[in-house]
Structure 1
């Protein structure tokens, strides 16, 4: 185990993340190519995701011990300090002296004698005094306190407090900072949830039923999951229940033609194929051919035979109309902050850049729908600008379509729309709306 190499690997990724790269994508592309041990790879993942998630709180602590603040530091040194503080404050299994020692070695390599002394001095003080750091006054301005203490953008926290109140915003921030749960969807073509629980238990994996959706299970751990016979033989697919509601709301039926407009990596497409009992056709579109490869691999493993994949921009796609259309639109991912460490820091700009595309995709999906057909518009966001506001604008501009109450299909979890709220429902947040095109005789 080479912890210095692991920390240096994490440092290089964090510097690129600070420049705009996505943490999860960097880990996905770089870790498999490295010569690090599995233990060191796990440490890299923990450090990168942890520092990215807790960046605002780490920088607040840094400000307490720096004369000029973290923004004035060389990016290498700033991220070395973040790494050190994260280990001291959040990782009990790493002794503070080890975190300080390894950070000083990195500062020596990426800085100079002065920055080496700075890193040593700051981290030693954090190790001694870090529990006594004073945070913003919660009574004076709860939003600033929550933003710093729970490490979320102030703009995001203010809008959540206005929408949900302080208490619910605290719960949402706490959920976002917790370790993400592991969920799997039972492949109903091959087994049942009850049988799958027993099959997994026989292979040393503990699973229990999910309270939100009946075909989903929650696992205690994912360790060894992808080496089990259950996985290799396609008895389940890893998927969060929040992502599972869209296919259920669409209600695709055996023998129908279904369009999945933004399909990759394809969890919803394979879910629909299972609901359709492998009868009919699902056309799965995605702009990037390489992203469809994951779907194709899962199709083979799951025994799904009715999906055809096509690498094409959905906005340019033309076809005979479909019985049902799923528009799972790109979004800010605000319902998945627990899983996507850097999404919280990009939320505002993502909302601003994506709402036009979301509406355009919804309009295109509607064009490809038969009279009397059903369309579901879904996101993994909890923000109204990406959800009901997009749907309401579409319906206002397109009187030939009508909103159907989601509670008629999913009465236990929906009202007019499906709105999955992470701290209440215990999984990723999501939104789904069911829209019907008026028939020829309506």
Structure 2
């Protein structure tokens, strides 16, 4: 049960006076390169609501970017993390290990796709997980090249910036980047030149051809892909694409890495998005939804691949922090007990028909896509497929003003994405969609 009233409430201008005061303090002390979607400061969050310091309550369609899947103060997460805090906050797993880390690794082995022997290594952030997946793949294959895809996003460290396809805001001015990274096409159905029905076969053939010609399959250590591309615009690769790339990796001794950092842990209505087409990755990277908001990430994969790195080659002072591990065990407990996969599917059943109806009314909505509680609309100029980032920003701002927290995304900045907590109530979903529709009508 939520302690925070589960209703939208706007009682001041957005931002209110207390948020404005905090904003002036922030401007004086926080680096300008750290941006924020909304100009309000959070005071409490629970269920499907974020309350700011002025008492405004926002319907949460962002989940802290797919992190608070189980809610922002889930009982099991708070209970387990609090108990661990009282015992000890840190020993460093590389100095004196503890059971929580082992238990998280056991849970990951059980939940991730495939019935092969699996092992995990824990880290702090999604970018760290991806970077370590590359280290492990290189150690295992004794190869160096890494293949990634158009519209992909993998993080903000030097290597993961190289893996990421979008320049602004992630890469601009921060180079030079890590070498031996190669980018190939992805099956972006809505924008595929010969139509979505051809995208899977044609894009996979093009990608494989480019890898063979430009890199040489025998030089590739890893192929890394998000089963649903997050920052690229919630692109679901057209059917057939992922299986073809997976098969190519298997045939050529390449480690296939599923980056499930945004799409994992019930977000798409399955434990992991790659399950949709029966993909069993060699390695899977997780973070975001794993620990109910505490910083934790993981690389999980085939035991023989995971064991390729020498002892001491993986780790980090805070990796698999005991409090974060406790939070993860609480989050997984909540996902199982509340059957959040079913909840995600129900969110899709509520949202998709409403958004499709809006698409029929408003011709700037070019595409409605996604699965579970990972849904998006792509905005275009009327009568074209030309991206419309201006309207996207206007819609988001209108929603924010009315008390609905939405996020934008996409390579072209023209996608509104919906990532509600899976514990959100249906009345909040409906209210938020009403606000969204009113914003389109006003546009």
TM-score (norm 2): 0.29
Higher relative contact order, chain-length normalized (CA < 8 Å, sep 6+): 2
Query: Which protein is bigger by CA-based radius of gyration?
Result: 1
